[in-house]
Amino acid sequence: MPIVVVVGGQWGDEGKGRIVDLLARKAKVVARYSAGNNAGHTIVNERGEFKLHLVPAGIFYPEKTCVIGNGVAIDPEVLLEEIDNLEAKGVSTARLVVSDRAQLIMPWHKLIDQLDEKLRGDAAIGTTGKGVGPCFADKVARRGIRVADLLRTDEFAERIKTVLEFENRVITGVYGGDPIDFRDCLETYREFGRRLHPYVTDTQAVVLDAHQRGEYVLLEGAQGSLLDLDHGTYPYVTSSVPSSTSGGAAIGIGIGPTDIQRVVGVFKSYCTRVGNGSFPTELEGEIANRLRDHGKEYGRGEYGTTTGRPRRIGWLDAVAARYSVRFNGLSAVALTRLDVLDGLESIKICTGYELDGKIVNTVPASLSVLDRCKPIYEELPGWRKPTTEVRNFDDLPEQAQAFVRRVEVLLGCPVDLISVGPSREQAVIVNPIF
Ligand code: GDP
Ligand code: IMO
Ligand code: MG
């Protein structure tokens, strides 16, 4: 049975949580493979509205096993709070398992994230400030602390003592900050360890065993491909190792690339970005405000799930999207928030960039070059009828069908799923993904 990856195709917040919640119906295991609680995945289903940062979106189905894989950076405080909130709302976390190989976000990571942004001044990345970048930097520097360490009480104390000596030198010497107290940190994390212990296991085996038994497995990406360290708009990217692209899914769970059968890329029908960095199709003014504030009265506008920051808005960038389709090896696109375009007189799609009088068809590596790229737009007629109640492709307004068909051609990938609202049932399944 297939292992399917769900990956964000743009700059994050494409609606991955919503798509995973829908596709999880058929899966037996749903596993998060990268990032940390910089991610915020919104799920609206019969149990209400939830904003998940670490727990996979399969948690709402009682019979699914939900995995937080080795590739995830875990802030135990955030995870425990998320577990408590879910349980308080009647959602059982009994089938949640956490990898013993996952990295831990420690107090110094959060502090360094904030101090580092301050030090960068005007060149700040616009991080979520959750310590995710410094945690992955320490993972690569072989200074990370893992969930397995947390469970070995004596070794844990030794380990954080050594690491904290180094981190405090950085905090005070490089950033001029206040050092972190070893005892406080030790006691707090010992308590986290005690509470997390029952969830911790070898999650690689959980996924591979399910796969071998012939069960469906869904791998949930976080963030977006254009925030990837290698292929994104570096340095205005996130620091996830493994990458938040489909390529990171195998590493972040501990399976082989040949175990993955399908990759679904989630794209909004337009673009958003939180934080700083290039955004060729960025819009300001009336249309941007209209798209940002769609559903705002229900708390569903384009404002960050994790930080509440207003998201930057732009037309769909088919150049960047096609680039993302190619390096993710996508089998299908899930197009979300089509309903947000309802009622617009016309809709633009960027089909190429103009640079010094020439047409560019892919995303240049250099940000100064990308910043000089001017989008070339194709304008399509909008539609007047609402799409939120539509469940069949043929029932979509003609212009909406034409928009979707044009997106398929420009991206070079079939649109198998269209989302027309935040709730589970507000979807048009063009071709079944599982
Ligand atoms: P994620 O990080 O990729 O899971 O996306 P977020 O949850 O951060 O942001 C997506 C937002 O769009 C959430 O508020 C979702 O509830 C909402 N959403 C998802 N799909 C649709 C859709 O088709 N229509 C509308 N109106 N909202 C949607
Ligand atoms: P989901 O999973 C949107 C962005 C931040 C910032 C950059 C680096 O909800 O799609 P970081 O804190 O990761 O060091 O910040 O990456 N970013 C996201 N933007 N959605 C996300 O996750 C993001 N995760 C990180 O806004 O620009
Ligand atoms: Mg999000």
Give the model's pLDDT for residue 305.
77
| CB 324 near ligand 2, within 6 Å | no
Map tokens 């949930």 to a residue: 220
Provide the 3-class DSSP secondary structure of residue 275.
coil
Q: Give the separation between CA 391 and CA 75, rounded to whole angstroms.
A: 39
Q: Give the separation between CA 122 and CA 124, rounded to whole angstroms.
A: 6
Give the model's pLDDT for residue 166.
98
Give the model's pLDDT for residue 296.
84
Joined tokens for residue 68: 């937080």
Contacts of 93 (CB under 8 A, 6+ apart): 55, 59, 66, 83, 86, 87, 199
CATH of the domain spanning 3-89+203-429: 3.90.170.10
Give the model's pLDDT for residue 308.
87
Q: Whose CA is nearest to atom 20 of ligand 1?
A: 422
CA of 129 relative to ligand 2 center, distance in Å: 10
Q: Is 294 a catalytic residue?
A: no
Joined tokens for residue 131: 């310590």
Q: Whose CA is nearest to atom 13 of ligand 1?
A: 42
| CB-CB contact of 139 with 163 (8 Å) | no
Give the model's pLDDT for residue 382.
98
Low-confidence residues of the chain, pLDDT below 70? none
| CB 37 near ligand 2, within 6 Å | no
Exactly one of 41, 109, 211, 294 is catalytic; which is it?
41
Give the model's pLDDT for residue 7.
98
CA of 13 relative to ligand 1 center, distance in Å: 7
Residue 12 φ then ψ, to 5°: 95, 165
- Domain 103-199 belongs to what architecture? Orthogonal Bundle (1.10)
CA distances from 124 to 121, 236, 253, 338, 363 (A): 5, 9, 31, 32, 22
Give the model's pLDDT for residue 249.
98
- Which ligand 2 atom is the nearest neighbour of the CA of 274? 26
Q: Which of 336, 422, 410 is nearest to 380 (CA)?
A: 410
Ligand having the closest approach to the CA of 126? 2
Q: Give the separation between CA 434 and CA 427, rounded to whole angstroms.
A: 15
Ligand having the closest approach to the CA of 311? 2
For the chain, the domains span 3-89+203-429, 103-199
- Which ligand 2 atom is the nearest neighbour of the CA of 224? 10
Task: Express each pLDDT in 353-385 by its tens digit.
Answer: 999 999 999 999 999 999 999 999 999 999 999
Residues with CB under 6 A from ligand 1: 8, 12-18, 39-42, 44, 295, 300, 305, 336-337, 339-340, 419-422
- Which ligand 1 atom is the nearest neighbour of the CA of 43? 16
Half-sphere exposure of 87 (CA within 13 A, CB side): 10
Domains 3-89+203-429 and 103-199 share a fold: no
Q: Is 339 a catalytic residue?
A: no
Give the model's pLDDT for residue 165.
97
